[in-house]
Amino acid sequence: MAVEELQSIIKRCQILEEQDFKEEDFGLFQLAGQRCIDEGHIDQLLEVIQNEKNKVIIKNMGWNLVGPVVRCLLWNNKEDDKVKYFLLLDLLVKLCNPKELLLGLLELIEEPSGKQISQIILLLLQPLQTGNEYFDI
């Protein structure tokens, strides 16, 4: 169900120009993406993110998925899943609008306290460092 919802939102947004995305589109994308993560549909989510047709959508809306992915990385102990979550995080860091991504990361760090903050920062270091080549930093 979550995958179908995400595909429906993607299909609707593919025909829109970037400036025509509405706040509702962002919310629906985030909700459907979160449900895909929660329900374990990581492979399908990876396909959506890697699809060239969705480049503009992911650039503008993908940052909304960074928080849910980071939370899964922190609390999921299955190594196979962690590899997929790291791949997902790496792709989002590379493909998303840098400004929106940074604001999303700041929100992510503001939420927890103490030990969780350092865990989140350490978790994000590798994807952010490898993402530099895509941002000409």
Model pLDDT for residues 27-84, shown as the tens digit of each residue:
999 999 999 999 999 999 999 999 999 999 999 999 999 989 988 888 877 777 888 9
pLDDT of residue 75: 81
pLDDT tops 50 at residue 125: yes
Euclidean distance between CA atoms 19 and 51, whole angstroms: 20
Euclidean distance between CA atoms 54 and 46, whole angstroms: 11
What is the Cα gyration radius of the chain?
Answer: 14
pLDDT tops 50 at residue 130: yes
Percent of the chain with pLDDT over 90: 53
CB atoms within 10 A of CB 130: 12
